[in-house]
Amino acid sequence: MDYGKYLYRQNKKHRKERQRQRHTLKEMKFYPKIEAHDYETKLRHIKRFLNEHNPVRIQIWMRGREKVHPELAEKLAKRILKDTQEISKLQGELKPINHRVQFQLMPIGGNIAQIENEGSSQKEI
């Protein structure tokens, strides 16, 4: 094997590793008075992001009179956590910041390389 071919394979390997490490933080914004269908749609998006191994930052904004009732935002946050508990874990804690509650969900599972290897080994069978 010549040296040029060796360098080509090394560069290709490094590019693939960098591509696996690329995770982008996704954000989802909620309001305490969200309707059931809207909640389900946003929850579906959150689950898709987590299945793609992207962390998700969730912000619950309170407007006007909603600021007087921060317990509604906390109730919604707990509902989101409960609905995504099988595929995510809470990073840090719920942070009430002025007129919003913010928290971040991290995907549960091995790293992407392990998952891709499992998928490729299943395809070979």
pTM, two decimals, is 0.69
One pLDDT digit (tens) per residue for the chain, 125 residues: 789 899 999 999 888 887 766 678 899 999 999 999 999 999 999 999 999 889 999 999 999 998 898 999 999 999 999 999 999 999 888 888 888 999 999 998 744 434 444 444 444 44
What is the DSSP code string of 87-109? TEEEEEEEEEETTEEEEEEEE-S
What domains appear along the chain, each with residue ranges and CATH number? 23-124 (3.30.110.10)
pLDDT value of position 116: 43
pLDDT value of position 83: 94
